[in-house]
Structure formats: C-alpha cells, structure tokens
Amino acid sequence: MTEKGKVIDEELIEKNLQEGRNKSREEILDILAKAKKAEGLEPEEAAALLLVEDPELLRETFQTAREVKMRVYGKRLVLFAPLYLSNYCINNCQYCGFRRDNRSIARKRLTPGEIQRQVGELEQLGHKRLLLECGESSLSDIDYVEEAIATIYETKKGKGEIRRVNVNIAATTVDNYRRLKAAKIGTYQLFQETYHRTTYEAIHEGPKRDYERQILAVDRAQEGGIDDVGLGVLFGLYDYRFEVLALLYHARHLEGAFGVGPHTISVPRFRPAGGVDFHVPHPVSDESFKKLVAILRLSVPYTGMIISTRESVEMRAQAFDLGISQTSAGSRTSPGGYGQPGGEEKNCTSAQFQIADHRPPDEIIRSICQLGYLPSFCTACYRKGRTGKEFMEIAKPGHIHQLCGPNALLTFREYLLDYATEETRKAGEEALSHHLRDISQPNLRERTEERLQELEEGKRDIYF
C-alpha cells in the first residue's frame, strides 16, 4: 500500500505549471514532435501544452492528438451504457443529485426482477457491455452488487446478452474487491472527483470525504486482483490543468506500484441535477475541454478515454476526433430509467445528473458511421484474459490492431443483423465494407470475412 498522501504532490504540480509558462514556441513544437511517437509525455511536458493559448500551436496539438489516436486506436469507438441500480446514498457531495440531503429526489433501489427488465431493455438496444453504478449505502452493499452482477450475466432477451460488466461503486476493502473480481467484472472505475485536497474536503461530507480512502481505492482493487482500473475527475471542481497533471501522476503511481497504469480515464464535465444548487467554481470552456482531451491522449496514448452523454452531440463528435475511444449511448442516469415512456426527462426526479445527448443508440451508431468511425461492442480481451499487463504487452507494440479491428467488425455486424433500423443497417454495411478494407494483412482479412459470413448464417459471439 502506498504511504498516505504520497500519490499526489500538489507543490510539484504547481511547480510544473509555473515552469510550463516559460516554454518557447520551439520547445512546444519539440514536445509535440516527441508526442507523435506515441510513447507518452512526462507531466512537465503535458503542463507546458496545457498552458498553450496560441491558436496555431493549439491546432498543431489537436492534429498531433488525431494522429496518435489513429495510430493507437484506429477508427474504433467502443460503446456501452450505464446501469444505475440505486440512488440511495449516505454521502452529501455538493454537486451530486444523489446527495443525502436532496429531498426532491425520488429514491429507488432496483429489485432483481427490475434489474432483469432493465437489462432486457438494454440488450434490445444492442448493448453488450454495461457500467454498473449506485450510491454508497447499506442498501447497495457488496452482497447486493454481487447479486446484481450475477443477474445481469444471466439475463438474456432474444439474441441479446451482456458480455461484460464494469463497475463504478464507492471505495471499499481489498476483500470486497476480491469478491468483485470473482464475480467476473471487467474494469473497476472510481473517480477522485477532484485531486485538490482542500477543494475535495470542502465539497464532500460523509465517508467519501476521506481523501485517502478515495485515492487509494484503486490500489486496493489491484491488490484484490482487479488489474484493469479506471480513473477520472469531475471537471469544473478545480483548475482543469491541475486535474490533468494529477491524473497523470496518479497513472504514474499505479504503473510504478503495480506495473500497469489505468485501463481507462474518464473526462466528465459538471452537469446540473434536480434539487442541487451548486455553483461550479472552475467551469471548463469547450475549447479548454478539447485541449485537455487532446493532451491526455498524447500523455497516455495506450489508455482508453471515455466520454459520456453528459456532453452535447457536437462536442462528442469533436472529442472522438481528439482521442476518445469509448462512449456511452442512450444513457439513463436514474434507477429504472430504461424503457420508460418519455425517457430521462420524465424520470429526472431520480437522476444523478442531466444528460446532453438524448439520441437513442441506433441514431448515435448511425452518426458514428457517418463520421467515419467504426462502432464496436467487443469484449473479447476480457474474456480471453488479455487484461492489465498482458493487454499492454500487446497494445504498446501495436499488435492489438490485429485483434481489435476484426473483433470490432464482428460485433458491429452482430448489431446490424439483430438490432439496427433499416437506415442504420444501410449506413453500417457501407462502413463495415470500408473498414474491412483497412485490415492490411490479407490472411487476417480473409479470416475476418469468413467469420462475418458465419454471423450471416446465424452464429453469434465469434471473436479472435
């Protein structure tokens, strides 16, 4: 276990930012030239880029991020949906719709039968991977979460099935993380919200106010055998430049302690919630948001980056271009929100926050195709044990393309055959043909074509 207080050195981060102000144009261009190699950046180099305001240098930063994103991830975008189990919470976080003192929220905890119905709704939308979420409460303890995960994996509606459950629950013990690992979760995700200690302690009340409990949770998850963990902050709570550097130092800490950094980094910006009157102390503009996405991509090129439906249609499209590799689609942030007439707007009294992209998954998938990307529902690496160090050993030399590209095509063909509307099926088949030609190895392309034909003939869940 890392000694308390040693993961984040605030003075060092402030020093990085101060020194970054003095970088010349030539030094910035040298940093970008290094970034193009997709080997990552040092925190002090990222600090210099975070302080760039010159429009021409920003354009060069964005272009470099595009090149690195394409080199590492290609045109794939992995899709998922959150599943909120309960909005009961003993914490009183000032920014959260689930906060204990929010008397306007309709509290709910899903029963096993309700979980089955929600999963069935998500499967009929084509989803294969979920992110399980709930507030911190005795009503959603580890026994409840274990039972929910088992119910999710067991629930199959029509041709649908959930093949991977990621989990975002409150910080817990090593023993409980071992239980989550045994329940066959994918990634364990936990956001620090803000790495600035004074701000963190000022806006949290309840068990979550313990800064060390929160920041060392992913250490305990690793000790419990979960080798894929996800980090994130809620941008807007403190200076985004500080937060980005803190994320990088946290990633560096994990790599030093466990030999592998975070599998994912999420980049949510604050969104309002019903019954919550919270003044955002450090709002992040759209231009600054694009900058932080690009710089994170350059700094940790092999870490997945996640954007949610908190962001608008337009911003999501731009972020895909700058480094995002995973995105939610058709999200509901209230327990029981899927399949309800009127959607999230009708159930906003029980939601954690308001979403900005209200499109159904089919429309989002069609737009992804039209933007030139390849929607993916792949879960193969998790089921084949390609996680943690094993995943990075394949990813960093560039070999992961030989698996991820074909597997994305196979899962996308499944979606087109089983769930797509006619309009989306047409756009999707055109995209699929285009991306199939991108497989440069003739033998691999031929094997992929054979498996695509097997899907046409009725087989499912085929992967490399």
Instruction: Place 398 in a pLDDT band, splitting at 50, 70 and 90.
Output: low
426: amino acid identity, one letter: K
Dihedrals φ, ψ of 6, to 5°?
Answer: -100, -5
What is the spatial distance between Cα 296 and Cα 305, in angstroms, rounded to a whole number?
A: 8
* 358 Cβ contact list (under 8 Å, min separation 6): 309, 343, 344, 345
Amino acid 447: pLDDT: 95
Q: Is 120 exposed, middle or buried (0-12, 13-18, 19+ CB in 10 A)?
A: middle
Amino acid 3: pLDDT: 47
Q: Which helix (H) or strand (E) holds 213?
A: helix 211-215
- Strand 76-86 relative to strand 264-266, pairing: unpaired
Amino acid 386: pLDDT: 81
Amino acid 400: pLDDT: 66
Amino acid 350: pLDDT: 84
3 state SS of 292: helix
Residue range 10-54, pLDDT digits in tens: 999 999 999 999 899 999 999 999 999 999 999 999 999 999 999
- Average confidence (pLDDT) over 93-103: 97
Q: Are residues 319 and 290 in contact, defined by beta-carbon separation less than 8 angstroms?
A: yes
Question: What would you report as the CA-atom Rg of the chain, rounded to the nearest whole angstrom?
Answer: 21
Give me the percent of the chain exceeding a pLDDT of 70: 97
Neighbour count for residue 446 (Cβ, 10 Å): 11
What is the spatial distance between Cα 322 and Cα 365, in angstroms, rounded to a whole number?
A: 18
Amino acid 2: pLDDT: 40
What is the spatial distance between Cα 334 and Cα 312, in angstroms, rounded to a whole number?
A: 19
Residue range 354-367, pLDDT digits in tens: 999 999 999 999 99
For residue 404, CA distances in Å to 169, 180, 241, 395, 400 come to: 28, 26, 32, 10, 6
* 248 Cβ contact list (under 8 Å, min separation 6): 43, 46, 296, 299, 300
Residue linked to tokens 């911003």: 315
Residue range 119-160, pLDDT digits in tens: 999 999 999 999 999 999 999 999 999 999 999 999 999 999
> What is the torsion angle, in degrees rounded to the nearest 10, for the CA atoms of residue 77, residue 214, residue 187 and residue 149?
-120
Residue linked to tokens 């964005």: 62
pTM of the predicted model as reported, rounded to 2 decimal places:
0.95
Q: What are the tokens at 265?
A: 């980094």
Amino acid 401: pLDDT: 65
- Average confidence (pLDDT) over 300-304: 95
- Strand 264-266 relative to strand 304-307, pairing: parallel
pLDDT at 347 over 60: no
- Supply angle C-alpha 175, 186, 125, rounded to 5: 135
3 state SS of 383: helix
What is the spatial distance between Cα 237 and Cα 214, in angstroms, rounded to a whole number?
A: 16
* 296 Cβ contact list (under 8 Å, min separation 6): 244, 247, 248, 265, 267, 303, 305, 323
Residue range 58-94, pLDDT digits in tens: 999 999 999 999 999 999 999 999 999 999 999 999 9
